[in-house]
Each structure stands twice: as C-alpha cells, then as structure tokens.
Amino acid sequence: MREFIRKNGIIVVIAALLVAVIAVSSIVAGGSDAAGGAVNTLVRPVRGFMSGVVSHFERLYGYMYGYDILETENGELKERIATLEQEYREYDELAAENERLKKLLGFSEEHASYEMTQAAVLSQTASSWQSAFTISRGSASGLKEGCCVITESGFVIGRVTSVSSSSSVVTTLLDTTSSIGAVIWDTGETGVLSGDFELMKRGRAKLAYLPDSCTLSPGDTVITSGAGGVFPRGLVLGTVERVETSASGTSDWALISPSADLYNLEYVYVITSFGEE
Amino acid sequence: MLRKHKKIILLILLYVPLILICFILQAMVFSELPLGGAKPLILPVASMSVAMHGGRVRGGVFGLFAGILSDVALGSPTILFTLLLTCSGIIVGVLFETVLARGFPSYLLCCAAVLIIAAFCQMFGLLFFRGQSTSAILTTAVFQTIYSLFFTVPMYLLTRPLGRRV
C-alpha cells in the first residue's frame, strides 16, 4: 500500500482534488443529483468542444454541397432583378410618355387647327453665345425656318432657325436674336419679349416696350400676341418675376421666367401650320 | 513617290480619328457640360497642337477641316472658324518652324492667343451691335478661354507622337 502511494501518490492526490472540485462546483450550481451534476460539469467542456467541431464540419459540408445550388439561385435572382429593373424603367418611360401625350391631347383639342410634329431633342448647341438645340426632324417632316416650337403643354420654347433634311436647329426665346410679340394675360397690355445675354445665362428673358401706364405685377402670365405671324396667339411664354425700371428711368421692363423647362427637354412639338381660330 | 503616298494615307488615317473625336467631344459631350455658362472649344486647341508638331502644311489642312467642323458644331452659317483656324494653323506652323521653340509653354501661349481671338470674334456682334451687357460677355469669354485651355495638356500629349514619328 505504501509502495502504491509512493508510486501513484501525485495521481491519487490530483484525482481526489478533481473529485472534490467537481463535488463542490455541483453543490454550488445547486444540482439535486450531485453525481449527474459532477459528470455534466466534467463533460461540459468536452461536449462544447465536440459540438463546435461537429457544427464546423456541418457548415463546411453544407457549404460544399449547397454551393452549386446557391450559385444557380444567385444567378437566377440577379437575372430576375435585372428584368424587374428593366420593366420598371420601361414602365417609367411609358408613364412619362402617357403623361406627355395626355397633355398634348388636351392642347390639340383646344387648338384643333394646329398641325404639329413631334421631334426629339438631339443635342444642345456647342456655342457659349447662343441658346439653341438640335432636333430630330427636318424639312423631310415639313419643318420650315420660323416654325414655332412648343412643349406638350403648349408652352413656347422658341422657333426653328435652321433646317436640313433630317434635323433642325431651334433657337430658344432666351437667345439674344429672339424677339416675340407678347400680351399680359390678365391686363391685355402688350410688350416685346426679347433675349438678353446676361439674362440668358440665368434662364430668363426680358419683356420690354411696355406702355407707360403698365400695371404689371409678379406672377402675371405672359402669352404670345400673334403679331408677326410666326407664333399663333395665346401660347404661354412665361410669368412675370419682377418689374424693373430702365437705367434712364423712362421705361419699365419685366423679368420673365419661361414656363417651359428649357434645360430638360426630351421631346418638343413643332407647329408646322396654324389656322385662324 | 509610293513612299510619299503611303505617308499621306497614314497621316489621314491618324488625323481623321483625332479630328472626329475632337468634334464629338466639342459638339456632343462638352456642349452639355457648361462651366460658368461657357462651353469649351476643343477643335482650335487640337489644331494648334497639330500645327506645332506637324508644321504649317499639316497645321493649315487640319485647321481647315477643324474650322469647318467648328462652324458646324457651333451652328453658325458663317465661316469664322474655317478662316480663323486655317490661317492660325499656317501661321503657328510657320512660327514653330522658324522662331518659336517646340514645347508646352509656347503651345499654351499660341492656344490662348487663338482662343482669345475666337472669343472676340464670337462676342463682336453682341458687344457692338446688340448692346448686350459687357461684363456678362467678358465673363463668358474668359470662362470659355480658360475651359478650352484645360484641353491643351491631353491634345499636346496626343499629337506629339504623330508629329515626330510620321
């Protein structure tokens, strides 16, 4: 016995300490079954380690086995997203076109005598000194120099100033060469809407040659007078932003904000002929 | 003789894409990207670069076609740029063959001079006949010149190999 203790004493002491620690810890843990608790305590780290290893291998297996399926599924989903995005874009375009055509229909019904051609805006002018753009219709579509160009809502954009067989140049009402006879919708007073270089850079035009007794106020609508025969009467040019007096102090002029959004045009409508209404 | 013809064909093959790219950039790309209300003139810058690296003949011929395309791009029926770029191509070519040293600073100077002349010609009518605001016109001219000068570096680098090797 003494021989046994001398040889295995340390092991026996460690085993006894281990048993004691397990017993104490299971009592502290409050387990009713002290033996079961002790075994559980002893096995818990091993079980945790084994569980981790198994779950890792499970994940690895699942990844290897399911990768092809996931890849296929991912590809299908990407295709589906692309199709939906395309459909969404088409829907957006159709909705915008529908809106545009509705407005045009309303305008056409109001002005049945107008003959109009739709044209796409191709590019803005490369010149820093003009306000003009190129459209996709030319003399082959019946366009002529001087034709009036409007939006689908009937807001004046400008006039055709140069025509080739398949494209034309439209000079906007902001350009310094532009001069349009105008009438104030509310008061009936007349003036001339003309381009001014400084105002052109700010997207505005000038309404000059107003009568002395002019009673303009901001927000008044300015329409075409029809004088000169280039523009039909009654098309909307813009609204009065403010009224100013000339440097000499002898006459008033008004700053006009065009009703047409001249910087975001996609399609325009060229009035090729208009009868008396 | 055959060698000379081959050289001319090669030059055409090299300069035609260059002039077309410049035209597309000026008329369709940068016309949508104004800076301070001004749009750049790229064809005159390319024309000066060809005149410097290639000499008066290439400068004149390139200037002639660049001028025609500029007039088309700017939508004006005048022949302002056709005349201006042809003459300046020849003059700048002669200057670089005789008195000026070939290098970026002198090229930049020539470009600035041609762009200022172009801006002056463009604003002449507005300034003297239509009574428009002088400050707005001058501001646009300055912006147009500076914006156009941004293109001197790529044009210089692009046309240098064409002038030296062909």
β-partners of residue A182 are: A191, A224
Per-residue model confidence as pLDDT tens digits over B68-89: 999 888 876 578 899 999 999 9
Q: A227 near A238, Cβ under 8 Å? A: no
**Average pLDDT taken over every residue of chain A:** 82
Give residue for tokens 């939906």.
A84
Query: In this prediction, what percent of chain B has a pLDDT beyond 70?
Result: 95
Residues on chain A touching B128 (C-beta within 8 angstroms): none
The pLDDT confidence band at residue A89, using thresholds 50, 70 and 90, is: confident
Take residue A179 and report the two structure tokens written for it: 């001069």
Residues on chain A touching B37 (C-beta within 8 angstroms): 128, 201
Report the pLDDT value the prediction gives residue A36, as an integer from 0 to 100. 60
Q: Is the dihedral of CA A137, A142, A147, A150 positive or negative?
A: negative
Pick the range with the lowest mean pLDDT from A63-72, A142-151, A188-197, A244-253: A244-253
Where is pLDDT greater, at B102 or B40?
B40
- Which residue in B31, B123, B126 is closest to A126 by CB distance? B31
CA gap A169, A163 in Å, rounded: 6
| Number of structural domains chain B divides into | 1
Q: Where are the domains of chain A?
A: 1-110, 115-273
**Average pLDDT taken over every residue of chain B:** 87
Report the pLDDT value the prediction gives residue A95, as an integer from 0 to 100. 81
- Residue B50 sits in which domain range? 2-165
Give residue for tokens 């490369």.
A126
Report the pLDDT value the prediction gives residue A157, as an integer from 0 to 100. 93
Asked whether the predicted pLDDT for residue A247 surpasses 80, the reply is no
β-partners of residue A224 are: A182
- Distance (Å) from the alpha carbon of A176 to chain B's nearest alpha carbon: 8
Look up residue A207 and give its amino acid: L
For chain A, list residues whose CB is within 8 angstroms of any CB belonging to chain B: 123-130, 132, 134, 162, 169, 176, 196-198, 201
Asked whether the predicted pLDDT for residue A27 surpasses 70, the reply is no
Per-residue model confidence as pLDDT tens digits over B17-73: 999 999 999 988 888 888 888 999 999 999 999 999 888 899 999 999 999 999 888
Task: Check if CATH label 2.40.10.350 holds for domain A115-273.
Answer: yes
Q: A267 near A117, Cβ under 8 Å? A: no
Q: Is the dihedral of CA A158, A162, A164, A169 positive or negative?
A: negative
Query: In this prediction, what percent of chain A has a pLDDT beyond 90?
Result: 13
CA gap B157, B146 in Å, rounded: 19
Say which CATH number the domain at B152 has: 1.10.1760.20
CB atoms within 10 A of CB A135: 26
ipTM score assigned to the predicted complex: 0.82
